[in-house]
Amino acid sequence: MMLKNKIVYIFTLLTLIFGFNSCEKYFGDINVNPNEPVEVSPNVLLPTIQARMAYLQGGHMSRYTSILTQHAEGISRQWLSFNNYTIVANNMDNTWFEAYSGVLNNIKQMRIQATAIDANYYVGMADILEAYMIMSFTDLFDAVPYSEALQGTDNDTPAFDSQESIYNAVFALLTSGKTIMGGGVSGLEPGVDDLIYGGNAANWVKFANAIEARAYLHLGLKDSANYGKALTAANNSFSSSADDANLQFQAVETQAAPWYQFNRDRTDIEAGVTIKSILAALSDPRAADYTASFTLGGAHPYFKSDRAWPFASYTEMQFVKAECMMQAGSAGASAAYFDGISSSFAENGVSADYATYITNPDVAPATLTMNEIMTQKYLALYMQPEVYNDWRRTGLPALTPNAGTFIPTRLPYSEVEIINNPNTPTSELSDKVWWDN
């Protein structure tokens, strides 16, 4: 049985990633009726969902947000236009379709199939993955279809739910997912088909707590009590980097990481001027890997084909703790802050430079401030969409627009959605999402 599961896993992953070779590929028809699905077992759907989610997060969503946070810089063709904030609705079509058709619809089907055979862990993982995906999406677009979504031709003009209501759903999903994963397994038990944790239920609970910590942190501007809730959730999340929610890509062309594939095929993007200047000012040893020319392709020291994509990490949680304790005036902020830097250095293979690095007064000032915390988190979470949320919440590090007078604080809705769904709200790039007061 184990051999059979391994074959299913390898075949599924090969098929998935091979289909992801083009960064502009359209992955499916959002109007396929999910009420008449082809029945696929949960252990086949799970790696499909995880790999597509990692590719979406580490592909389009990473590129869009990293240009806006100046981790990256568009230097030619469409990405030069994006760099100058000429961001139009049809730029979002593939991202929109893949989020709904590729990820959320498959999660829905996995939940249906798992419920039918009483495979409770797959239901719990569906809840946690859905919470992660729908929160990631609303953070970019504000109100999005959710409660009426995924009904196919039964309702192809779903209402747009407010971000507040979606966050309420996120918390409910996480509570449900943690309860299920914290109990005993019934029915089909996940194993190698779980590309993130290999079926380890305790780690799924930690992952859910990390998502919850991130969610409460986003809501800190709505109510300062949410910083305390975020701290509690972060403390209940990862104990070390060994617990990180990573999806490991492979050193094979058809299974390679999304940034590697993009850089192999395109020469549109390079490391951003802003992150280069911050790294240089701090004599940061991560600079050599982060800012090497993206056109090196397979020789790039950071964007390797087998680089794992982090859905959430111990490093991130340490900076969450530091920010929350800073907001509360707690002395523990410094310890979490330095743990975050140390963890990032270990991830990047530069631990030997840590002791010298933290003697720099710009890294370790006499009095720690939010500026240092958010700057180091900005460096540690290189190319991760969460940095865009951080910058919008805190304004740190300070960024100067590449063009015009403002950096976009949201993305436009998909052109296909605008054309086909009269419920699509009007929006401007200068609009703020609900949690961004």
Six token digits for residue 261: 């594939």
Amino acid at residue number 269: I
Q: What whole-number distance in Å separates Cα of residue 53 and Cα of residue 267?
A: 24
For range 294-313, the mean pLDDT: 92
Position 413 in a domain: no
Residues 210-239: tens digit of each pLDDT: 999 999 999 999 999 999 999 999 999 999
Q: Is it the case that residue 20 has pLDDT exceeding 50?
A: no
Rounded distance between C-alpha atoms, residue 149 and residue 167, angstroms: 16
Nearest of 256, 311, 402 to residue 125 by alpha carbon: 311
Going by C-beta distance under 8 Å and a sequence separation of 6 or more, which residues neighbour residue 205?
178, 181, 182
CA-closest candidate to residue 112, choices 38, 18, 10: 38
407: exposed, middle or buried (Cβ count in 10 Å: 0-12, 13-18, 19+): buried
Residue 418 lies in a domain: no
pLDDT band at 38 (very low <50, low <70, confident <90, very high): low
Nearest-angstrom CA–CA distance, 151 and 31: 8
With the CA atoms of 384, 390, 395 and 401 taken in that order, what torsion angle do they form, in degrees rounded to the nearest 10?
30
Whether residue 10 is contained in a domain is answered as: yes
Give the DSSP letter string of 126-158.
HHHHHHHHHHHHHHHHSSEE-TT-S-GGG-SSP
Number of structural domains in the chain: 1
Predicted local confidence at residue 19, as pLDDT = 41
For 1, residues 6+ apart whose C-beta sits below 8 A from its C-beta are none
**pTM for the complete prediction?**
0.92
- pLDDT one-digit tens code per residue, 353-388: 999 999 999 999 999 999 999 999 999 999 999 999
Instruction: Determine, yes or no, domain membership for 409.
Output: no
Q: What is the average pLDDT value for the chain, to the nearest integer?
A: 92
| Other Cβ atoms within 10 Å of 311 Cβ, number | 25
Domain hosting residue 145, numbered range: 2-295+305-400
Predicted confidence band of residue 298 (pLDDT cuts 50, 70, 90): confident
Q: CA–CA separation, 284 vs 382, rounded Å?
A: 13
- Does some domain include residue 430? no
User: Looking at the domain assignment, is residue 427 inside a domain?
Assistant: no
Q: Find the radius of gyration of the CA atoms of the chain.
A: 21
| Neighbouring residues of 128: CB distance < 8 A, sequence distance ≥ 6 | 173, 174, 177, 178, 181, 204, 207, 208, 211
How far, in Å, are 25, 152, 219 from residue 164 at the CA level? 32, 24, 10
In the predicted structure, residue 29 carries a pLDDT above the cut 70: no
Do residues 373 and 337 touch, judged by C-beta distance below 8 A?
yes
Q: Is the pLDDT of residue 24 over 50?
A: no
Q: Report H helices in 219-257.
A: 225-235
- Tell me the CATH number at 9: 1.25.40.390
**For residue 153, what pLDDT is reported?**
87
Beta strands at 245-248 and 144-145: parallel, antiparallel or unpaired? unpaired
Query: How far is it, in rounded angstroms, from Cα 142 to Cα 135?
Result: 10
pLDDT at 363: 98
Is the pLDDT at 8 greater than 50? The verdict is: no
263 vs 305: CA distance, rounded Å: 10
In a domain, residue 415? The reply is: no
Return the closest-CA partner of residue 215 out of 329, 134, 330, 322.
Answer: 134
Q: Is residue 432 part of a domain?
A: no
Q: How far apart are CA 248 and CA 153, in angstroms?
A: 36
| Closest C-alpha among 180, 203, 178, 191 to residue 44 | 191
Rounded Cα distance between 78 and 269, Å, is: 10
In this structure, are residues 269 and 65 in contact, taking their beta carbons and an 8 Å threshold?
A: no
User: First and final CA of the chain: distance in angstroms?
Assistant: 53
Q: What is the pLDDT of residues 101-151, one digit of tens each?
A: 999 999 999 999 999 999 999 999 999 999 999 999 999 999 999 999 999
